Amino acid sequence: MQFSTPNQFTLLLTVFLATACSHQTIVSPDIGKCDNAELTNFDGLLILAPHPDDEILGFTGLAGEFVRQGKPVRTVVVTDGDAYCDACTFWTTGSINGKTCDALTLSNLETAEIDSLAEVRQAESTAAASILGRPAPEFLTYPDTGLGVARANVEDGDPDRILKRSDFSSCASCGECQAGYGAGPETRLSASTLITSLDEIIGAATRNTLIATTHRLDSHPDHAALGAFVSERAAAIGNGRTVAFAVIHANTTNGYAAADCWYPGPAAKDCACFDEERAEHQTGWLDALRAHREQPDWPQVLPDDIDYGEASQLCLDDATRLAKPRAINAFGTQLGTTGQVPGILPASSEGLLDCSGYLRSFGRQTEVFVVKRFSE
């Protein structure tokens, strides 16, 4: 079945979400039309991902199709993903309620040791690429949350303002730690350096290279900012550049606790699930929550909360479809399956960070994009 209008799909998705929330049998949507030929009718692919793991969540199948056709794929991860307070706390202490991380534990790129969250996240991206049989991404090492700040700096007329890393050590808990974002040491990076890097990277690609990045209407500020920056640079460089945008975080909550509670569907059974005590005493609770949203036979779809643009769908080949969930599992700091030292994570709480099954719900039969060609 092919969805001929957005409203047709919205109505169908509403039925599926209502079914999921009532804990009845979940019925898989039809896959619909595959736009593989149109999406891969390019010389090669350039992926510009905001954080380590976005290149896998949004673009594994697209990259796999280019590789299968013998076309070059270049992957660039812009930030280190270091400003995830809950993930760092869980990684270092084995508990969501543990001591929050200082700046060096979040990011310590100056030493040879892999001893910070930023470095581990880079290693996870490299491991995920290896699982897929692909080269490791390139890392630009911008601070997590820095892209959203860089975008704001441009809008304020101050693109040269230096970006800072985060430091959560003064916070009693991650839930009360907004002041920790951007409270760490200064970098040598700014919106101006980012624009220069994007111009060099995009300019080095052929005119007929497909550029893939996150959507400017994605709810994560870094995702939205990168989508906006790439759009502007693609237009400025000219030569008819084409960009495929992926939506990884929906723009609104749709009445749930957070956007990631309902997107991708089916909606989470329980999204307020950072509950270590319940995980310890209710056997199988976490597994059941995650399994609810792990629907590998479902298509990936655009959220229905606002108009992101016309969808183009890529259908994954069997090998890539089976490998993508394994690549997602490489991101242990994001799933809550990896501790800084062996044995630090209680067995009952393994996977707690992805208790709603959000990351694993990207292991689907398709990936969906909004494709835009910029003027000559």
Instruction: Tell me the pLDDT tens digit for each residue of 117-142.
Output: 999 999 999 999 999 999 999 999 99
How many residues does this entry show for the chain? 376
In this model, does residue 1 exceed pLDDT 50?
no
In this model, does residue 245 exceed pLDDT 70?
yes
Instruction: Tell me the pLDDT tens digit for each residue of 343-352.
Output: 999 999 999 9
Can you tell me the mean pLDDT for 161-177? 95
Computed over every residue of the chain, the mean pLDDT equals 92
Instruction: Tell me the pLDDT tens digit for each residue of 186-229.
Output: 999 999 999 999 999 999 999 999 999 999 999 999 999 999 99
**241 neighbors 207 (Cβ within 8 angstroms):** yes
- Residue 376: per-residue pLDDT: 61
Residue 75 is inside which H or E element, if any? Answer: strand 73-79
Q: Report d(CA 252, CA 202) in Å as an integer.
A: 31
Residue 78 is inside which H or E element, if any? Answer: strand 73-79
**161 neighbors 191 (Cβ within 8 angstroms):** yes
Q: Residue 20's CB: how many other CB atoms inside 10 A?
A: 21
Helix (H, G, I), strand (E, B) or coil at 295: coil
Contacts of 33 (CB under 8 A, 6+ apart): 2, 313
Phi-psi region of 243 (alpha: psi -120 to 50; beta: other; left: phi over 0): beta
Q: How far apart are the first and last CA of the chain?
A: 35
Instruction: Tell me the pLDDT tens digit for each residue of 311-321.
Output: 999 999 999 99
- Kindly indicate the confidence band of residue 25, based on its pLDDT and cuts at 50, 70 and 90: low
Q: Report d(CA 108, CA 115) in Å as an integer.
A: 7
Q: Report d(CA 127, CA 25) in Å as an integer.
A: 35
The sign of the torsion formed by the CA atoms of 56, 61, 63, 68 equals positive
Helix (H, G, I), strand (E, B) or coil at 213: strand
In this model, does residue 272 exceed pLDDT 70?
yes
Can you tell me the mean pLDDT for 84-91? 97
Strand partners, 244: 212, 371
All structural domains of the chain: 29-247+310-356+367-373 (3.40.50.10320)
Percent of the chain with pLDDT over 70: 93
**218 neighbors 52 (Cβ within 8 angstroms):** no
In this model, does residue 152 exceed pLDDT 90?
yes
